[in-house]
Amino acid sequence: MRENSRYIDFDIDSKAIVDGNLKLILGLIWTLILHYSISMPMWDEEEEADDGKQKTPKQRLLGWIQNKLPELPITNFNRDWQTGRALGALVDSCAPGLCPDWDQWDQTKPVDNAREAMQQADDWLGIPQVITPEEIVDPNVDEHSVMTYLSQFPKAKLKPGAPLRPKLNPKKARAYGPGIEPVGNVVMKKALFTVETISAGMGEVLVYVEDPAGHREEAKVTANNDKNRTYSVVYVPKVTGMHKVTVLFAGQHISKSPFEVDIGMAQGDSSKATAQGPGLEPVGNIANKATYFDVYTAGAGIGEVEVVITDPVGKNNTLPCTIEDKGNSSHRCTYKPTQEGQHIISITFAGGQISKSPFTVNVGEEAHWHLSTPENGLFVLLSFPVSWHLSWVPTVCQRDCMSACALGSCT
């Protein structure tokens, strides 16, 4: 065989063709393909340096593909095409938007991938499928057949009306915010987070939340229409335990999705708890006499009631307070002050101060009672710090008992 850029001579005579010499006939066909289909496209398109002219047609075609697909390590015409992804990348490189999501294709479905790429190339680039999808992904494929098919791409032209789609990269979308943190979210309280899609392309954001029992609900997603194309997401967990939050962009998982979120017990709202009773009145309580007050937590959520009493000298927890759960979200708190003076009563619910807490209670002096019966018949009842007197004069009983009647004990 002798060839240059304009013609080719092949040493075969008519007898070989008439006799059906398959080896020579196929050799002739391959030579024609190699010269006119594989070599000529590159020769017509580019000016080459002297070293480039020394490359074989196979090397030239491989070099052209490597320039089109710098992100893929293409070094041959068999093994590197087995997943079908390289075909999708080549189609999208020649016509951006025909196979924009080729890098998301499932590598376990090579025939489907190759079929998608080859059909798009056939429909919109005018590249006939001279080899089948099943053949091109076969590790034992004849590389001459693959070269023949791929040699059609350099001259391919995109047809009008092609269904071009923007480049999508869902893995470049990201989510952030407390609603997807492993801990910190609680039952019946809004969980919020944000999804940013500026680097992922154009697509729809969908979020699903699955509880420990497998129940799945769609979360509310609101577009913020800002420069980073962010979306605000909110959901309200109804049960405790591990939840799975799935975030999809253009139907595919974003980076780190699904997220595992452990939902805890809801904390009460201390501001909705109240307390009242004589034990919280500013005045009226006296030393060494038990008093009480009630704490009401209806509508405040779940939490523990705690009471800390600061005595007049500023010490905490020297004065015990008994807390009794009375049901119906009420608690009876009983304490007995032992000193007179100002006491500070701090009441907390779910770790926070309740409404109007802390309370200031001024405890008065303990009352002292004394009974006096002098010889002259005067009865004196004294109390401190308040005192009062009750006197009486012996009289003769109207019932002739002749006894002295005190305080009207005899009627």
For residues 215 and 259, state if they share a domain: yes
Question: Do both 229 and 352 map to the same domain?
Answer: no
Per-residue model confidence as pLDDT tens digits over 140-172: 998 888 998 998 999 899 999 999 887 888 889
Would residue 385 count as lying in a domain? Answer: yes
- Three-state SS at 2: strand
Domain boundary among 122, 150, 178: 150
CA–CA separation, 321 and 355 (whole Å): 19
For residue 228, the enclosing domain spans: 170-264
Angle separating helix axes 85-94 and 57-68, nearest 10 degrees = 80
**Predicted confidence (pLDDT) per residue in 306-357, tens digit:** 999 999 999 998 899 999 999 999 999 999 999 999 999 999 998 889 999 9
What is the per-residue pLDDT across 42-85, written as a single tens digit (0 to 9) for each?
544 444 544 555 778 888 889 999 999 999 999 999 999 999 99
Give the number of other CB atoms < 10 A from CB of residue 354: 26
Q: Is residue 41 part of a domain?
A: yes
Examine residue 156 and state whether it is found in any structural domain, yes or no. Answer: no
User: Is residue 165 one of the residues assigned to a domain?
Assistant: no
Beta bridge partners of 212: none
Query: How many other C-beta atoms are found inside a 10 Å radius of the C-beta of residue 190?
Result: 12
Residue 21 and residue 120 share a domain: yes
Say how far apart CA 78 and CA 243 lie, in whole Å: 45
Taking 60 as the threshold, does the pLDDT of residue 410 lie above it?
no
354 lies in the same domain as 259: no
Chosen domain end from 242, 264, 286: 264
218 pLDDT band, cuts 50/70/90, is very high
Residue ranges of alpha helices (H) inside 69-128 are: 85-94, 110-124
Whether pTM exceeds 0.75: no
Asked whether residue 161 is assigned to any structural domain, the reply reads no
Rg of the Cα trace of the chain?
47
Overall number of domains in the chain: 4
Per-residue pLDDT reduced to its tens digit, 2-47: 444 444 555 666 776 777 777 776 676 666 666 666 665 454 444 4
DSSP single-letter state for residue 406: -
Residues 116, 123: Cα–Cα separation, whole Å: 11
Please tell me the predicted confidence (pLDDT) of residue 27.
72
